[in-house]
């Protein structure tokens, strides 16, 4: 009789197990979707900082060239 009760209890738990699997699958999809968004966001931030750094470097190079030209004009006088 003990095994019959175990089977009945196991059958009674199957709907709860199915619900738990569905819940876990939904949670996993949410986590994966959030991970993709964060990854895209991180790439966007990195690209933004890279472009900002390049813009700063070009500005520094331009200032350096202007300073060289101004120094050459002063020395020419």
CA–centroid distance for 18 within its chain: 32
- Digit-coded pLDDT (tens) for 47-56: 999 999 999 9
Query: What's the number of CA atoms in the CB half-sphere (13 Å) around residue 42?
Result: 6
Alpha-carbon dihedral angle through residues 33, 36, 38, 41, given to the nearest 10 degrees: -130
Taken in order 65, 66, 67, 70, the sign of the CA dihedral is: positive
Q: Residue 1 pLDDT more than 60?
A: no
- Dist CA 9 CA 47 (whole Å): 57
Question: What per-residue confidence (pLDDT) applies to 6?
Answer: 72
pTM of the model: 0.53
């Amino acid at each position: 009789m003990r095994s019959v009760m175990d089977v009945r209890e196991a059958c009674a738990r199957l709907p709860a197990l199915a619900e738990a699997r569905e819940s876990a699958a939904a949670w996993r999809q949410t986590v994966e979707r959030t991970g993709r968004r964060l990854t895209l966001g991180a790439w966007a931030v990195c690209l933004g900082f890279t472009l900002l750094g390049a813009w700063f470097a070009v500005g520094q190079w331009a200032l350096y060239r202007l300073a060289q030209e101004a120094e050459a004009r002063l020395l020419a006088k």
